[in-house]
């Protein structure tokens, strides 16, 4: 059974489909049958970096579909270029995104995780959060339900990249926010 999904007018235009609904604010939407599945990207089909396709502007989809499949490594490598600082890791055959940071102190590490938790909860997609020693934090993202990466993981990584996390990071690495330092 397919789920119904609203597409924005811009997305509908890019897919060359007609508008079928208009809300009171003149925003047009298209209601289409939709089945989440593994998104396969190639060099030719990788999303362009514009406002309509930026990962950080997308919303994570529910992970409970039987049709959802993990993406292959080639597709994951292409999308990983859209989330600077994140490392694509093959962990015993399971692809994951990982990113480390150094925080100022233990309490800042907990506050750092709260900022990420707020975004994760809003998206309904939850990463693994690790605080080791007193200032080493690491975030790991993958879709647990499928045992690998889906577009949701890259959406969440992009949204985390857009957070202002400078106040939590050590001064010697705070300027390297996007580099995945240390």
User: CA torsion, points 12, 79, 118, 135, in degrees to nearest 10?
Assistant: -170
- Residue 95, strand partner residues: 90
Side-chain-facing half-sphere of 89: CA atoms under 13 Å: 14
**pTM of the predicted structure, to 2 decimals:** 0.68
Q: How much is the pLDDT for 99?
A: 98
**CATH code of the domain occupying 38-179:** 3.30.1360.20
User: What digits encode the pLDDT tens for the residues 164-177?
Assistant: 999 999 987 555 54
**Whether residue 68 has pLDDT greater than 60:** yes
CA geometry: angle 22, 26, 30, nearest 5 deg: 35
**Short-list 34, 37, 7, 59, CA closest to 150:** 37
Residue boundaries of the structural domains of the chain: 1-34, 38-179
Give the span between the Cα atoms of 81 and 85, in whole angstroms.
9
Poorest-pLDDT segment among 19-33, 57-71, 93-107: 19-33
Of 151 and 50, the one with more pLDDT = 151
Peptide bond into 182 cis (omega under 30): yes
**Whether residue 60 has pLDDT greater than 80:** yes
Read off the tokens for 161: 């990249």
Poorest-pLDDT segment among 14-23, 90-99, 143-152, 154-163: 14-23
């Amino acid at each position: 059974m397919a789920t119904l999904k609203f597409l924005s007018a811009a997305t509908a235009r890019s897919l060359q489909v007609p508008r079928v609904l208009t809300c009171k604010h003149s925003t047009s939407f298209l209601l289409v049958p939709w089945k989440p599945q593994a998104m396969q990207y190639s060099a030719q089909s990788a999303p362009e970096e514009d406002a309509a396709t930026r990962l950080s502007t997308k919303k994570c989809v529910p992970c409970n579909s039987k049709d959802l499949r993990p993406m292959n490594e080639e597709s994951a490598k292409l999308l990983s270029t859209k989330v600077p600082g994140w490392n694509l890791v093959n962990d015993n055959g399971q692809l994951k995104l990982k990113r480390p940071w150094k925080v100022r102190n233990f309490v800042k590490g907990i506050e750092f995780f709260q900022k990420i938790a707020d975004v994760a909860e809003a998206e309904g997609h939850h990463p693994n959060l690790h605080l080791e020693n007193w200032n080493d934090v690491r975030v790991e993202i993958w879709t647990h339900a499928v045992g690998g990466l889906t577009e949701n993981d890259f959406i969440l990584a992009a949204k985390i990249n857009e957070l202002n996390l400078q106040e939590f990071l050590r001064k010697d690495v705070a300027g390297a926010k996007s580099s995945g330092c240390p």
